[in-house]
Structure 1
Amino acid sequence: MKTQINSQTQTLGYWAVQAIQKHLEKVISHESEVLKDDDPEELHQMRVGMRRLRSAIVGFAPVLELPESAEDEKIGKIGRRLGTLRDLDVLLETLQNHYYSQLPPSEQETLDKILINLVKQRHKAFRLVEWTLDHKTYKKLKEDLQDWLEEPCFTPLEKLPIDEVLPDLLLPQISELFLHPGWQVGETQAQLNSISLETLEAILDQQGKFLHSLRKKVKRVRYQMNLFTDFYSSKYSDYLEDMKSIQEDLGNIQDSIVLGEKIAEIIPSKINSKLPVFIGLLAQNRYQSWQKWEELQRRYLKAETRHEFRLELLHPITGTENRTVDS
């Protein structure tokens, strides 16, 4: 359903309310199904809603006066508990549906034991999610934000025209993104020659934390940019699509690293001897994701690309009579 927007609603405060309401509703709509624990997709959608709610609150912070229960860190803590359960779902699904059939019988037998261990971990993680969603912290967050949406409280910036302040909201996020050290990971080696699989593993071992941090930053930028697609040209959507691709490619690398680490925790010092084919597949998948990421890395290390990105953010489309907000 679309809600028509008129010229009286083109203020910073209005769009802040729309964003918070949309993502809060998404979180609440998946809550009961998450507690039934029948479909992992429900948990995924609730986690996405929580992340986007947090991004909206951070992104619109200059205009918002929110209750204490809606502080960024409190939302983040709830989101991390949902994330722990979601990560285990992804690990289990990946092992069972992607890797298992590619392994020899001896490694499948080892993997069976690992899967049993991960299922036990998941059971504990789900109990923590159950407790979290029944705890007063989460309930108060919902209640207070619903009350706030009935009577929003703002700073004096509320009535600023959204078109005029969008660059001020978005450019600080993009500046932080472009200054992130993750862009430089492996860049020197790539200039000399193509990075081999062995070289990549050494790079990830030493600097993988920077790529993981960059992925999280890209994700926040993507969620923030998603709020304002109606205010920019198709070129803005192209940059947004790049953010999605970067997040996915770096996410695949990180998921592979986490998967190896999780298994190493279960069978410490034995993973290389007991699962050599599996370890090789993990490394190969990381390498394939790296090659996709490398193309985007080269593009965004160019001053011209970054300059054009900034210019796009500086020039929202004028004329707001036909804008809509998803509801």
Structure 2
Amino acid sequence: MSSKTLKLNCHSVKSLLKNTLSKTTQNMMTYLSDFLQTKEPESLHQYRVNIRMARSVCLELSDFMEEKRKNKLDKILKTLQQETNDMRDIDVFIECIGAYKNSVDPQCLSEFEGIEAKLKAEKEEAYKAFEAKYTEAFQTHIMTQLQSLQNDDLLCLPKSEEKLFKYIKEIFFHRLKKIAKASKKLTLSAPNERFHKLRLHYKKLRYNADAVKLNQFSKSFKPLQTAFGNVQDKNSQIERIKHYNVAHSVCLEQIIALLEQELILDKQACIEKSSKENIVRMKNSLEKIFTCKDS
């Protein structure tokens, strides 16, 4: 039995859940505090990563949690994530501005810089509103709520004391089955929601792989997350530009056309990376990890 599978076989579902919540809560508050002090986008990103990891693990282990407490925990985490969505979208768009500037006609440069100025103004406004709400007292309140739930003896059902190995294996293969089914419907003409849904499936698989320290398997999803993330970012940017009165601007229409053209390439990358062959490789990788137990 490998060291990885030995650890999975020694730990209970409850220990994974409790340890993940404890670690992510601490990380969340550390990155939140750093973000409020420095306004660094990377700190905001890491804050969101830890929220998503906590939510993903709780979702996959929801059958082992008492329903009311589980729902309360997810509501808190979901709210924290939603309150940073717009800030993150703006940060990503600003990061892309430089590359986009070089792709538009020179006569559109001034209008494009106007978009950049609007984004920066929106960012400043969003950051100020966030800072005003997330006072030290409010941060303490969040921390207290999360710690109270994770320390609650009734959060986990009695069956959560069972060994982790069997259930985490079922969880991974069940998620991969959903990915395979969703990937069959992926085409260039497929609605954006289909790409977004598949992106969330991959995220959940990766976060849970991170939670049980399957690092090599988790790293294999980085190119996939990048590809699907590009699609999501482009869609968000197109929708944001449309709010800037596109009907009266040839330049804004040009920028949207540019993004839509790049979006096709991004979608094609997603289709290729989420192909039947690649999913079979993922399944084989999981089989190798989990069949070590019987060797």
Q: TM-score range by the shorter chain?
A: 0.7 to 0.9
SS class of match (2:246): coil
Q: Which residue of 2 aligns with 1:85?
A: 87
Distance verdict in 2 for CA 1:312–1:276, change over 3 Å: same
The farther-off stretch of 244-253 and 150-159 is 150-159
- Give the paired residue count: 287
1:81-101 deviations in Å (ceiling 9; x for gaps): 112111111111211x32123
Relative to its length, the structure with more helix (as a share) is 2
Q: Matches of 1:111 and 1:305 in 2, distance apart?
A: 43
Check if 1:318 corresponds to 2:293: yes
**Residue correspondence of structure 1 range 238-249 to structure 2 within 5 A:** 240-249=218-227
**Structure 1 unmatched ranges of 5 or more:** 187-199, 320-327
Q: Which residue of 1 aligns with 2:50?
A: 49
- In the alignment, which of 214, 218, 229 is matched to residue 198 of structure 2? 214
Percent identity of paired positions between Structure 1 and Structure 2: 18
**Offset of 1:148 from its aligned partner?**
4.5
Distance verdict in 2 for CA 1:80–1:42, change over 3 Å: same
Check if 1:263 corresponds to 2:241: yes
**Offset of 1:155 from its aligned partner?**
1.0
Check if 1:104 corresponds to 2:91: no
Q: Which amino acid counterpart does residue 175 of structure 1 have in structure 2?
A: K
Q: Which amino acid counterpart does residue 296 of structure 1 have in structure 2?
A: K
**Offset of 1:249 from its aligned partner?**
0.7
**TM-score, structure 2 normalization:** 0.81
Backbone CA RMSD of aligned residues: 3.3
- Please tell me whether the aligned partners of residues 133 and 139 of structure 1 are also in contact (alpha carbons under 8 angstroms): no
1:60-79 deviations in Å (ceiling 9; x for gaps): 22333484784313311210
The farther-off stretch of 31-40 and 277-286 is 277-286
- Please tell me whether the aligned partners of residues 81 and 128 of structure 1 are also in contact (alpha carbons under 8 angstroms): no
Q: Which amino acid counterpart does residue 299 of structure 1 have in structure 2?
A: K
- Please tell me whether the aligned partners of residues 110 and 274 of structure 1 are also in contact (alpha carbons under 8 angstroms): yes
**Offset of 1:316 from its aligned partner?**
5.5
SS class of match (2:275): helix
The farther-off stretch of 107-116 and 136-145 is 136-145
Q: Matches of 1:136 and 1:68 in 2, distance apart?
A: 24
**Offset of 1:226 from its aligned partner?**
2.0
SS class of match (1:71): helix
